[in-house]
């Protein structure tokens, strides 16, 4: 049984950006599904799908990421192997197009789970992970957004999600391979104009990413400060495991907790060990796509 699901962020995606979001998540889904259908691992499928979205300037991950208060682009990512429960994550890294690849290296080639900033970039050099220029990550849309934000008297990360009208294009993927292994990953540029060094939920295991073979996997997107407070990804896994919820009900349960307890906004994708999907969000739209052996063609929607 093979299954894969991807997301490209939960927010009020404008009508004129719907096509780019559909194409972006569809392309990512195809990259991951191709690996699964050729006998590849869930981990490789997750990394490939997220790499595809990190390359795509449509999303807030890799190329196209938001600019922080200091005019820099700082990136976060995490990946988790449900078979071994090993995980790797990086936060506040600069000049790396594919932070999910660096997170995978932390998982595979170190004893650690999370490396940040200069330490993470030192590790990247040791592992021969390519660096890029800041101009390779910055797109005109985000430069103009950053300049406009500087004219406001106050702007917070919560503002980016409270009204659900500002972008939150964090990307993620969960996959199940023919060996019964689950993997999950998430990659982001964070929130617009964030304070330098700010870290959201995406690189924090249990918050932005979680996977365990006996239950399934989750990737989240949204207002990271709120998601961290409710440990959203792990809470959804526990709802499936302990409360015996369906993935769809567990996803809705997680978003309900996010909103009722901390007034949070966001979205989640869920994939169980049996290849069943769950999707929930409390923003107007969320880009997502999924495919499995049980359906005839990919489902792509925003």
Stated as kind and residue range, the H or E segment containing 268 is: strand 266-272
| CB-side neighbour CA atoms (13 Å) of 117 | 6
Asked if 28 and 219 touch (Cβ cutoff 8 Å), the reply is no
Residue 170 designated active-site: yes
Report the phi/psi class of residue 190: left, alpha or beta, with left for phi > 0 and alpha for psi in -120 to 50: left
CA gap 186, 194 in Å, rounded: 18
DSSP label of 16:
G
Catalytic residue among 58, 101, 170, 220: 170
Which SS3 state, helix, strand or coil, does residue 175 take? strand
Helical spans, DSSP H, in 207-278:
224-229, 232-242, 247-262
- Exposed / middle / buried, residue 150 (Cβ in 10 Å: 0-12, 13-18, 19+): exposed
Report the phi/psi class of residue 180: left, alpha or beta, with left for phi > 0 and alpha for psi in -120 to 50: left
Active site residues: 170
């Amino acid at each position: 049984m093979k299954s894969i699901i991807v997301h490209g962020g939960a927010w009020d995606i404008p009508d004129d950006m719907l096509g780019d979001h559909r194409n972006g998540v569809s392309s990512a889904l195809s990259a991951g599904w191709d690996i699964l259908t050729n006998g590849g691992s869930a981990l490789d499928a997750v990394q490939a799908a997220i790499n595809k979205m990190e390359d795509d300037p449509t999303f807030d991950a890799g190329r196209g990421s938001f600019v922080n208060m200091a005019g820099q682009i700082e990136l976060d990512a995490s990946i988790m192997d449900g078979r071994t429960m090993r995980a790797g994550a990086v936060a506040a890294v600069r000049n790396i197009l594919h932070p999910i690849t660096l997170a995978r290296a932390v998982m595979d080639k170190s004893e650690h789970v999370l490396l940040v900033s200069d330490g993470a970039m030192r590790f990247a050099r040791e592992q021969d992970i390519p660096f890029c220029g800041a101009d390779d990550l910055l797109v005109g849309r985000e430069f103009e957004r950053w300049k406009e934000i500087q004219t406001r008297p106050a702007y917070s990360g919560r503002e980016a999600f409270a009204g659900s009208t500002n972008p939150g294009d964090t990307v993620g993927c969960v996959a199940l391979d023919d060996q019964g292994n689950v993997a999950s990953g998430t990659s982001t540029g964070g929130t617009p104009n964030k304070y330098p060094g700010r870290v959201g939920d995406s690189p924090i295991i249990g918050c932005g990413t979680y996977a365990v073979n006996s239950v399934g996997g989750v990737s989240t997107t949204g207002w990271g400060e709120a998601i961290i407070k409710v440990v959203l990804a792990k809470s959804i896994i526990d709802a499936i495991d302990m409360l015996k919820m369906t993935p769809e009900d567990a996803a809705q349960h997680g978003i309900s907790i996010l909103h009722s307890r901390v007034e949070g906004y966001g979205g989640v994708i869920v994939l169980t060990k049996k290849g069943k999907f769950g999707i929930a969000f409390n923003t107007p739209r969320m880009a997502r796509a999924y495919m499995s052996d049980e359906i005839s063609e990919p489902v792509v929607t925003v």
